[in-house]
Structures are given as C-alpha cells and as structure tokens.
Chains A and B, each alone.
Chain A
C-alpha cells in the first residue's frame, strides 16, 4: 500500500492564480480531510469528507473548495490564491469519521507571492 499520497510536494503561486492539490489513498478509507499547518497554530481542518459525494467544512474553509467523486481521491482547490494561503497542507484519511487513527500524507508546501 502506498498509503496517503499528495502531489505536488512544493508549489509557488502568484496571487490570483488557481491550482489543485491532489490527494489519494489506497486503503479504502471512507473519511478524508485536509489540514493546513502554520507556525504556532498547529493543524487546522479545512474540509473533510465522510464518503464519496459527501463533503463538509472544517474550521478554516474560506478560499478552498473540495469534491469527492471517488473513495480514493480528495482534491483541494484554491480558486484565487492569496498570500494568506501560504502554508503546508496535509491530507489525511481514516477508516471512518469517528475515533479512528488518521493517516497523513507527506504534505504540500505552498507559497503564494
């Protein structure tokens, strides 16, 4: 099993550009989520999905869109990047929503200039 994979590992965007961060898991996990990690703030939940076709907002959803068309994939879209979105982004998955260990991808370091 590859676990949770994320691409790209690094990305530099200009303000206003759009891009999609890719996330995939091969563990047949129902629950997937996106976090951003900023210095001194820990990880904050952006969006999550409890299964294909179902998504919901987390703590900091503004500026981000998600979709879940398959169990395996959970892309995160930045429609118009802003410098405040400079961060490290982690995708995670778990067997189900409640009380299960989350498996994390290696992260994507995004810089918006």
Chain B
C-alpha cells in the first residue's frame, strides 16, 4: 500500500538555525511529491513540488527539497529559519490514483 511517513512529530529549532524535515514514501514507482505548510487556523499552502527533472527543487519562503530515489525520501530544508516559519508541515504524494498526506511535523521556532 502507498504511504507517506513523516517520522518527526514535532521539531524545535532556534531562529537562524538550519532546518530539515524528513519525508519518506512507499510507492512502487516515482510519485509526484509535494510539501505543504499549514499556519494555525489556516488551510494548507503549497511550498514546493517535484514532478521530474532536477532532484533539488526550490520553493517559496526560502525552502528547498531534495528527491532521493534510492532512499524514497523527499526531505524539506531551509538554511536559516525565521520565527514566522513556525507551523505544521505536510509531505504529500500523488500516485496518479490518489493523493496521500503524511501525518505532519509541527515546527516550533525559539528566539
């Protein structure tokens, strides 16, 4: 069965520190991969997406993600976190038949 795993339920980082959020997927072929962010009380907003081509993709708000086929991973990174990045982050895959979300990683940013 297809699935998306975000192993970190909650991460705390200091403002200005680097960030990496992990995402692993289980799917027989290469899926189409997304990262979404959800601020408190809001809907989800797309950060970036990977369909094909360059495995390092750039998104909004200074985020990037790298697709690694050998590890079935699509980790999200940011070199320097801002306080406004505190939110919930969801990895998602589109297999062509259905869209699956991970359970999310909650990010806290401390001054």
Contacts and interface: CB of A to CB of B under 8 A. Distances in A.
Interface residues of B, number: 22
A29 to B, nearest CB: 14
B46 interface: yes
Contacts of A33: 99
B104 A90 contact: no
Q: Which applies to chain B's interface (DSSP): helix, strand, loop or mixed?
A: strand
A104 B45 contact: yes
Interface in B33-48: 34, 36, 41-46
A10 B108 CA distance: 26
A12 B103 CA distance: 25
Contact of B46 (A59, A98, A102): A102
Which residue among B36, B90, B101, B102 has the maximum number of chain A CB atoms within 10 Å of its CB? B101
Given A41-B103, A42-B103, A107 B94 contact: no
